[in-house]
Amino acid sequence: MTGLSSFVGTVAGTFLDFTPDPRTGRAMSRKTLQMTDRLYDYLLDVSLRESTVQKELREATARLENANMQISPEQGQFMALLAAAIGARTALEVGVFTGYSALAVAQALPDDGLLVACDVSEEWTGIARTYWDRAGVGRKIDLHLRPALQTLGALVAEGKSGTFDFAFIDADKTNYQAYFEACLILIRPGGLIAIDNVLWGGDVADPNKTDEDTLAIRKLNRVLRNDSRIDLSVVPIGDGVTLARKRA
Ligand code: CA
């Protein structure tokens, strides 16, 4: 685009996020698309491949008080695809809640695959185990009920550094940096770490938000931007997911 159309496109893009294609008039996305409810429903309709057990777990979790801690179904499917894409056989999960993400990833691991899951809640992971077993992936998931840094530290002590293919971090935000460092040790070169809630409902971009969770996520985001040990992408799916690929 040149001249006037470029100017109009820029102005329209500034206010509407989209620049109309001069030939078709159809909006072309210059930024990430704004997700309306109608478009989100469409996305799920044409792409979601949720098993019956996954759906039932999601519905059971939605009735709990902390239901917003569950990842969205398309995010679960996205992580399962990532795990499959890198040929993951072993995975880490920091923060299990009721087990939806672990279920999604475990289903993507081979029969002899292993997901080491870290959480401290007997109650929530009790729900998780029920659904993992019903889905037939319970034997692939090794759940450790103690602070995750202890479990991750023990894995390092057992000589498991550089052996895991995939990690998902979705627990207490003030420990995110420590979880990331521990996972980076345990992941192999070329392995992938996914970190949840990195856009934190938009609070990370609001300077008036200074609670400790927001500060912790904001700091980690800033640090990872310049971390030469990883390839990086922040994906605006769900509440924002950072993908960090460990460089050789
Ligand atoms: Ca989360």
* Residue 18 confidence (pLDDT) above 60: no
The residue range of the domain holding 126 is 43-246
Q: pLDDT band at 13, cuts 50/70/90?
A: very low
CB atoms within 10 A of CB 161: 15
Going by C-alpha positions, the residue among 5, 2, 11 that lies closest to residue 25 is 5
Q: Is residue 97 part of a domain?
A: yes
The token pair that represents 101 in the structure block: 């993400």
How many whole angstroms from 9 Cα to the centroid of ligand 1? 36
Domain count, the chain: 2
How many whole angstroms from 2 Cα to the centroid of ligand 1? 43
How many whole angstroms from 238 Cα to the centroid of ligand 1? 9
CA distance 54 to 2: 50
Locate the DSSP E strands across 74-226. 90-94, 114-119, 141-145, 164-169, 187-196
The model's pLDDT over 86-132, given as tens digits with 9 standing for 90+, comes to 999 999 999 999 999 999 999 999 999 999 999 999 999 999 999 99
How many whole angstroms from 160 Cα to the centroid of ligand 1? 26
How many whole angstroms from 6 Cα to the centroid of ligand 1? 40
- Cβ–Cβ under 8 Å, residues 28 and 21: yes
Same domain, 18 and 57: no
Reported residue count of the chain is: 248
CA distance 210 to 245: 29
Q: Is residue 118 part of a domain?
A: yes
How many whole angstroms from 69 Cα to the centroid of ligand 1? 5
Q: Is residue 38 part of a domain?
A: no
Same domain, 27 and 121: no
Same domain, 138 and 192: yes
How many whole angstroms from 67 Cα to the centroid of ligand 1? 10
* Residue 228 confidence (pLDDT) above 90: yes
Mean pLDDT over all residues of the chain? 91
Same domain, 162 and 209: yes
Q: Is residue 125 part of a domain?
A: yes
Same domain, 27 and 48: no
Sheet of strand 114-119: strand arrangement: 141-145, 114-119, 90-94, 164-169, 187-196, 241-246, 230-235
The model's pLDDT over 147-198, given as tens digits with 9 standing for 90+, comes to 999 999 999 999 999 999 999 999 999 999 999 999 999 999 999 999 999 9
The CATH number of whichever domain residue 208 belongs to comes to 3.40.50.150
The model's pLDDT over 87-99, given as tens digits with 9 standing for 90+, comes to 999 999 999 999 9
Mean pLDDT of 200-207: 97
How many whole angstroms from 58 Cα to the centroid of ligand 1? 14
For residue 101, the Cα-to-chain-centroid distance in whole angstroms is 9
How many whole angstroms from 140 Cα to the centroid of ligand 1? 22
Same domain, 51 and 141: yes
CA distance 157 to 147: 16
Same domain, 77 and 183: yes
Q: What is the pLDDT of residue 189?
A: 98
How many whole angstroms from 76 Cα to the centroid of ligand 1? 11
How many whole angstroms from 170 Cα to the centroid of ligand 1? 5
pTM of the model: 0.89
How many whole angstroms from 207 Cα to the centroid of ligand 1? 22
How many whole angstroms from 171 Cα to the centroid of ligand 1? 7
CA distance 187 to 189: 7
The token pair that represents 206 in the structure block: 């609001």
Q: Is residue 37 part of a domain?
A: no
